[in-house]
Structure 1
Amino acid sequence: MGITIPGFERTAIGVAGGVELAAAVGGSGPLLVLLHGFPQTHLMWRRVAPVLAEECTVVCPDLRGYGGSSKPEADYAETYSKRTMAADVVGLADALGFDRFALVGHDRGAHVAFRAGLDHPDRVSHLGILDVLPTPDTWDVLAGVGAAVAFHLYLMAQPPGLPERLIGAAPDAFFGHFLDAWSTRPGAIPADVRTEYLRAARAAVPSIVADYRATATVDLEHDTADRAAGHRLTMPVTVVQQDRGTQMGFDGAAIWRAWAADLEHVTTRAGHFMAEEAPADVVDVIRALLCR
């Protein structure tokens, strides 16, 4: 069975197009869906989900293309757009019998959550975003040598072929770089979990690249169109970001305020992997969100 979230059942949940999402499910009550980031799986929630399961039905799926979930081979512009991945989350809620659900995402999962909030405001009751900016704003703030921290965005934006070959030649070095560079608290990602992250990422290079490539193309188009149309998130939104926005020349609260009518913006001294470095803080933030 490998590593599991304590007290959670591992299952596969079918959504549209024959895609199955591997998921860990626990607790009872209203539905809370937690979406992982890169280069991780649902295991990133292992220290958060069991606490929240005392109050909610908590579901932690692997995103399509990651972990144990389906990795369909098709046009990235549709198959791995955040619009399609957001529809997966709605399909997951449908399969579990929930009309409304709270949704929290980290990194890649946060982009999916953001799109779900825009596309399905009648389904998403509360929205939590951990450590990203919306896609158009991300590309807007990256400039000069400071953009080197996000070199992977530019690499995986290239046409199919080259990124897959380069990353596939040394996947553990590539994915391991981010697990190391973005960590600030030694031991937050223990050796066995790191090994599992690398194993899962190694087996998913083409789909991970397709996910990122979509963010430089179709996702950017969708988000830019919504921004131009003045579309905003209507549910309560909490955004948690590292306390480094001013160092990179952007005001995260101001950026998110343009997108969310009911916004709580929080900064943390934890690193990018905040659910693993400061799980109690993340639990407190999610609980506060659910009470709004």
Structure 2
Amino acid sequence: MDLKIPGFEYRRVPVAPGVALNVAVGGAGSPVVLLHGFPQTHLMWRHVAPALAAAGHTVVCPDLRGYGDSDKPADPGAYAKRTMAADVVALAEALGHERFAVAGHDRGALVAIRTGLDHPARVTHLASLDVLPTLDSWEVMRGTGGVVGFHLYLMAAPPPLPELLIAGAADAFFGHFLDAWTRDRAAIPPEIRAEYLRASRAATPSIVADYRATAGIDVTHDEQDRAAGHRLRMPVTVLQQDWGAALGFDAAARWRAWADDLTHETVAMGHFMAEENPAEVVRHVLALLAR
């Protein structure tokens, strides 16, 4: 089944030597780049993207490098969020946008955050859906509370063990998160679920490399930024489940340490909020863009 965002044009856009991204583009107006999470593709924005386009924005929805139908470099060092953030800037430039807003979910939010830190002159607004900055995520997961992030530890292990274990039961592994993190199972219908599983099976090595980077070089980059006092200077909106109550920390305070102009909302949604409650996500993104 050829699944696409209705009304969007599809193209492959080179962003780095040997790397092109599969991208859906729609609408006209000020640009917004939407970055998907795990274990998904750009299709997670299939409800949000048309609504933002209808509200007067050019909406750009790529598959991240290593995911979906984008290229998957074999070099394990190619998945630092700094590298993926450079992809976002190159993609926007290729489409004619020097400055743009960016919204990310889960893994895509980590790329969005790194884009805002590394390229502050390019990012006008930033939205993060249900994730903490990389360094903070590792700092708050401790003791039995860390069980919720077991996959972070699994995929951080040296190769080839994680790749072999996941490949041996890929649908069960990736499907676990689609089921466990969703409050409304109907939000991810069978054909979309099947596409996420297909794409994830094909991308297992690069997905693991992405997560392995988050336990390595991405932490180093966050530590360097924290030490240097680098912050997100653009308006930032964060939508987050109540992680603090579950794990015993103040999520908004964690975000205030990174963002000058912050709106932090604790929301009653499952992790896949752009699919479970797209209207609410659209409302928050449009409010962000008006700031």
Structure 2 length as normaliser, TM-score?
0.98
Deviations 1:229-252 (A, max 9, x none): 111000000011013422211111
Looking at structure 1, the residues matched to 34 and 7 of structure 2 have their Cα atoms a distance apart, in angstroms, of: 16
Aligned to 1:213: 212
Aligned to 1:231: 230
Amino acid at match of 2:5: I
Amino acid at match of 1:281: E
CA contact (8 A) 2:243 2:251 kept: no
Amino acid at match of 1:92: L
Looking at structure 2, the residues matched to 92 and 2 of structure 1 have their Cα atoms a distance apart, in angstroms, of: 23
Q: Secondary structure at the match of 1:156?
A: helix
Aligned to 2:144: 145
Q: Secondary structure at the match of 2:104?
A: strand
Aligned to 2:245: 246
CA contact (8 A) 2:79 2:210 kept: yes
Aligned to 1:60: 61
Amino acid at match of 2:263: E
Aligned to 1:157: 156
Looking at structure 2, the residues matched to 99 and 10 of structure 1 have their Cα atoms a distance apart, in angstroms, of: 21
Aligned to 2:30: 30
Looking at structure 2, the residues matched to 209 and 244 of structure 1 have their Cα atoms a distance apart, in angstroms, of: 24
Looking at structure 2, the residues matched to 288 and 208 of structure 1 have their Cα atoms a distance apart, in angstroms, of: 32
Structure 1 length as normaliser, TM-score?
0.98
Looking at structure 1, the residues matched to 133 and 197 of structure 2 have their Cα atoms a distance apart, in angstroms, of: 26
Aligned to 1:190: 189
Q: CA deviation at 1:105?
A: 0.3
Looking at structure 2, the residues matched to 147 and 168 of structure 1 have their Cα atoms a distance apart, in angstroms, of: 24
Amino acid at match of 1:11: R
1:274-289 aligned at under 5 Å gives the runs 274-289=273-288
Looking at structure 2, the residues matched to 228 and 149 of structure 1 have their Cα atoms a distance apart, in angstroms, of: 28
Query: Does the alignment pair 1:256 with 2:242?
Result: no
Aligned to 1:291: 290
Looking at structure 1, the residues matched to 33 and 119 of structure 2 have their Cα atoms a distance apart, in angstroms, of: 14
Looking at structure 1, the residues matched to 261 and 87 of structure 2 have their Cα atoms a distance apart, in angstroms, of: 25
Aligned residue pairs total 290
1:124-139 aligned at under 5 Å gives the runs 124-139=123-138
Looking at structure 2, the residues matched to 40 and 34 of structure 1 have their Cα atoms a distance apart, in angstroms, of: 13
Aligned to 1:265: 264
Superposition RMSD in Å: 0.8
**Range 177-186 or range 240-249, more displaced:** 240-249
TM superposition outliers: structure 1 runs of 4+ over 6 Å: none
Looking at structure 1, the residues matched to 212 and 16 of structure 2 have their Cα atoms a distance apart, in angstroms, of: 22
Unmatched runs of 5 consecutive residues or more in structure 1: none
1:94-133 aligned at under 5 Å gives the runs 94-133=93-132
Aligned to 1:71: 72
CA contact (8 A) 2:179 2:185 kept: no
Aligned to 2:43: 43
Q: Secondary structure at the match of 1:15?
A: strand
Looking at structure 2, the residues matched to 209 and 234 of structure 1 have their Cα atoms a distance apart, in angstroms, of: 31
Deviations 1:89-132 (A, max 9, x none): 00001100111000000000000000000000000000000111
Q: CA deviation at 1:30?
A: 1.1
Aligned to 1:86: 85
Looking at structure 2, the residues matched to 9 and 247 of structure 1 have their Cα atoms a distance apart, in angstroms, of: 41
Q: Secondary structure at the match of 2:234?
A: coil
Q: Secondary structure at the match of 1:37?
A: coil
Deviations 1:183-204 (A, max 9, x none): 0012000000000000000000
Taking only the aligned residue pairs, the percentage that are identical comes to: 67
Aligned to 1:6: 6
Q: CA deviation at 1:274?
A: 0.2
1:14-25 aligned at under 5 Å gives the runs 14-25=14-25
Q: Secondary structure at the match of 1:262?
A: strand
